[in-house]
Amino acid sequence: MHDVKAIRQDPEFFVKGLARKGATGVEEILDLDAKRREILAEVESLRARRNAASAEIARMKRVGEDAEQAVAEMRGVGERIKELEDYLEGVEPQMTALVAQLPNIPDPSVPDGGEEANKEIKRVGRPRDFAFEPKPHWEVGTALGIIDFERAGKVAGPRFAFLRGDGARLERALIAFMLDLHTRQHGYEELIPPYLVNRQSAFGTGNLPKFEEDMFQTTDGYFLIPTAEVPVTNFHRDEILPLGELPRKYCAYTACFRSEAGAAGKDTRGLIRNHQFDKVELVKITRPDTSYDELEKLTRDAEEVLEALEIPYRRQLLSTGEMTFASAKTYDLEAYFPGTGTYREISSCTNFEAFQARRAGIRFRDADGKVRFAHTLNGSGLAVGRTWACVVENYQEKDGTITVPEVLRRYLSDMPRIGAGPGAVL
């Protein structure tokens, strides 16, 4: 969310910055703001006039002068003040709603354009040379009996899955491995957050009001979280943090729930785009002057998961047309899926600058004692379901089994392969 005062002081900056995301609205906000300030000035003038008149009326009454005309005049002033105050009471939420619809402004380093403008920063690892035609994860998993889409469709509907036996254990191993890496080596504090949040929390991260249709809502007003970013970022909502405690670094495993309202017909097979999926999330709250350094570190933390799993990937800097509503700068990590011969997003790592912090009231006290808005960052470390699919595709063997990556074996009772011998679910 943007500061109306900042928009007023440099409207050209906001017009140009928002245009990079195809957004407008500055002129409407400035017009409403000018009207609001004009009325505020009139209210203050009328109040001062009423205060002065009240003293004069009191004096007139003390000396026996006729104050009826002055009293009648002040009655009209009071009615005008009430009329203007009622107008202002309606303008404030209108102003907030207009500003809340404005997306964040992209960092100057972000390329303009759509998908074609995404910039590849680096590519790590070479795709495996298979001696056979690799299959997509839904075929491998179904053949081994470790994933069941048909029964999930019966129980819930499309875009759901059952993981079974060693498939479920593989998911649990990935979660434990990611959490251990981030907490023991990368210095994040683990949280187990609520899976339901209130409207204020969803507003704080920028999910509301613009993307309400993408969230599942309960009948009593709660929202199922689309990612742990929402509850974890709001952990410090309406707080002032000491400078010496920044950056705050949190990680959390949660299930995530998305309606995928705008994804009709996309990725209908497998685990790429489901209504429910698992994710390990990384969240940072930082000082403004260090937030871009922290973005690089957070992205490296996510990359190290892929490197430990020995999965080929590339880092992409997203363009203005591909980044999210709240993002100032985003890196996508795309892992290689041999079953389809494509790189697919497996993590997005984003700096929101003060956009979320202003909406959520997350502040810190600087070295001079001034209270300022913090910067917030988050990234997937990683999306567990997509990582499961990627491991299955990259580690499949000709006989239909799956070799377990070395770093996961201690979480799977040192089992070297899935689908070979005891532990297989066929």
Q: Tell me the catalytic residues.
A: 258, 273, 345, 348, 386
Q: Which residues contact 360 (CB under 8 A, 6 or more apart)?
A: 201, 204, 205, 233, 234, 236, 237, 238
Cβ atoms of residues 15 and 99 within 8 Å: no
Dihedral angle, C-alpha 150, 155, 158, 163, nearest 10 ° = -60
The span from the CA of 396 to the CA of 312, in Å, is: 15
Place of tokens 């007023």: 8
Q: What residue ranges in 53-146 does DSSP mark as E strands?
A: 119-124
DSSP count for the chain of H helices, then E strands: 12, 17
Q: What residue ranges in 232-339 does DSSP mark as E strands?
A: 239-242, 248-257, 276-286, 313-317, 329-337
The span from the CA of 246 to the CA of 167, in Å, is: 39
The span from the CA of 42 to the CA of 406, in Å, is: 73
The span from the CA of 288 to the CA of 128, in Å, is: 41
402-421 burial code (b ≥16 CB/10 A, e <16): bbbbebbeebbeebebbbbe
Angle at 47 between CA 42 and CA 53, to 5 degrees: 125
Cβ atoms of residues 191 and 251 within 8 Å: yes
Pairing mode of beta strands 239-242, 362-365 = parallel
Place of tokens 């470790």: 146
Place of tokens 């209270």: 371
Cβ atoms of residues 294 and 284 within 8 Å: yes
The span from the CA of 338 to the CA of 375, in Å, is: 37
